[in-house]
């Protein structure tokens, strides 16, 4: 089974409408083809580089709002499966200022929302950059469910950004049969330069799956700087396509059935001895 895997790299700002236009412009560069296409947007693609207050204001109730409407329209217009990085999603009964989930929402080519993964590992970390202290849990509620969805027979797994540092999540996705894992991200320049490619390659190799890693890139309004270098990787750890520090598309057409051979020859999944207990 053939799939076209696409990571969309962009520099999101705080203005939702402008970010939607940037995504639409980049998607219009895709050539039309019959191969099912999976497009992954970066973390916080619709609003990034503002302050906490703006993040909280931008959060939407599931099924309602500008960001979700745009994703549905874009998926249908370009006839792609669209993984929407993270979108800030409030619970149904949430108060206006309450924390939101950093949700990766998935739309099918009919514009229907078919999956939601809420980021499990929150980035409360000190980094040696201008921002210094990242405290995602101040405004974000942590997710607790491991999520895969079916794309015409291929199993697609979902993770977000900092999750990349927790291999047990990816193991769990592998155990659920993930053929492709999507990692929308806003990796910082400093940590990205040091770890981004290596972590993505390791997750691909150890779980024998394709990785679609879509990152934010460049300077953002609030002084934050992100690393870019979005990539598509195969199950052998090879980079099929990569982009440096400019916005744009990273594209690879892959054959999902090729995974069977790799897994049959080196059956990592069957050779496992240690189960990691979940504390979720």
Ligand X SMILES: O=C(O)CNC(=O)[C@H](CS)NC(=O)CCC(=O)C(=O)O
218: tokens are 């460049």
At CA 217, angle to CA 214 and CA 222, rounded to 5?
A: 125
Residue 134 found at the interface with ligand X (CB under 6 A):
yes
- Kindly state the smallest distance separating residue 216's Cβ from ligand X, in Å: 8
Q: How many CB atoms lie within 10 A of CB 64?
A: 9
Q: In the window 99-128, what residues touch ligand X (CB under 6 A)?
A: 123
Active-site entry in 90, 99, 119, 155:
119
Write out the E strands in 11-52. 37-40
Q: How many CB atoms lie within 10 A of CB 89?
A: 23
* Region from 20-28, 143-151, 187-195, 261-269 binding ligand X, contact rule CB under 6 A: 187-195
List CB contacts of 235: < 8 A, sequence separation 6 or more: 204, 205, 208, 209, 210, 258, 259, 262
Residue 186 found at the interface with ligand X (CB under 6 A):
yes
100: tokens are 């939101």
241: tokens are 């396509």
Q: What's the per-residue H, E or C state across 206-246?
A: HHCCEEEEEEEEEECCCCCEEECCCEEECCCCCEEEECCCC
* Region from 20-28, 166-174, 184-192, 206-214 binding ligand X, contact rule CB under 6 A: 184-192
Using CB under 6 A, which of 12, 188, 201, 207 touches ligand X? Answer: 188
In the residue annotation, 119 being an active-site residue is answered as: yes
Residue 162 found at the interface with ligand X (CB under 6 A):
yes
Buried b (16+ CB within 10 A) or exposed e, 225-262: bbbbbbbbbbbebebbbbbeeebbbbbbebebeebeeb
- Kindly state the smallest distance separating residue 86's Cβ from ligand X, in Å: 7
- Kindly state the smallest distance separating residue 37's Cβ from ligand X, in Å: 26
The closest of 221, 73, 227, 224 to 213, measured between CA atoms, is 227
In the residue annotation, 161 being an active-site residue is answered as: yes
Please, which residue, 107 or 134, has the CB nearer to ligand X? 134
- Kindly state the smallest distance separating residue 130's Cβ from ligand X, in Å: 14
Residue 43 found at the interface with ligand X (CB under 6 A):
yes
CA distance linking residue 273 with residue 232, whole number of Å? 29
Residue 210 found at the interface with ligand X (CB under 6 A):
no
Residue 188 DSSP label: B
> Residue with the closest Cβ to ligand X?
191
* Region from 92-100, 144-152, 161-169, 268-276 binding ligand X, contact rule CB under 6 A: 161-169
In the residue annotation, 77 being an active-site residue is answered as: no
Using CB under 6 A, which of 12, 104, 148, 191 touches ligand X? Answer: 191
Please, which residue, 188 or 230, has the CB nearer to ligand X? 188
Strands laid side by side in the 180-185 sheet: 148-151, 154-158, 180-185, 210-215, 231-233, 239-242
- Kindly state the smallest distance separating residue 164's Cβ from ligand X, in Å: 6
Using CB under 6 A, which of 161, 178, 231, 251 touches ligand X? Answer: 161
**Active site (catalytic) residues:** 43, 119, 161
Q: What are the residues binding ligand X (CB under 6 A)?
A: 43-44, 48, 123, 134, 136, 161-162, 165, 186-188, 191
């Amino acid at each position: 089974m053939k799939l076209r895997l696409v990571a969309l790299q962009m520099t999101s700002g705080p203005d939702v409408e402008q970010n939607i236009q940037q995504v639409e412009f980049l998607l219009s560069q895709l050539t039309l083809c019959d191969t099912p296409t999976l497009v992954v947007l970066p973390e916080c693609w619709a609003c990034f580089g503002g302050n906490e207050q703006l993040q909280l204001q931008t959060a939407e109730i599931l099924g309602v709002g500008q960001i979700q409407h745009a994703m549905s329209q874009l998926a249908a217009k370009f006839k792609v499966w669209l993984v929407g990085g993270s979108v800030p999603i409030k619970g149904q009964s949430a108060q206006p200022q309450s924390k939101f989930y950093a949700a990766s929402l998935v739309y099918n080519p009919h514009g229907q929302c078919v999956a939601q993964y809420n980021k499990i590992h929150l980035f409360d970390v000190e980094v040696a950059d201008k921002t210094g202290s990242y405290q995602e849990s101040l405004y974000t509620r942590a997710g607790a469910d491991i999520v895969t969805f079916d794309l015409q027979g291929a199993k697609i797994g979902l993770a977000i950004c900092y999750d990349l540092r927790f291999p047990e999540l990816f193991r769990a996705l592998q155990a659920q049969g993930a053929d492709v894992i999507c990692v929308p991200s806003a990796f910082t320049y400093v940590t990205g330069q040091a770890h981004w490619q290596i972590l993505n390659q390791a997750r691909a190799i150890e779980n024998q799956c394709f990785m679609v890693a879509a990152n934010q890139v460049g300077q953002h309004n609030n002084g934050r700087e992100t690393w870019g270098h979005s990539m598509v990787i195969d199950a052998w750890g090879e980079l099929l396509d990569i982009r440096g520090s400019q916005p744009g598309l990273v594209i690879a057409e892959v054959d999902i059935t090729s995974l069977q051979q790799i897994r049959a020859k080196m059956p990592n999944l069957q050779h496992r001895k240690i189960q990691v207990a979940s504390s979720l």
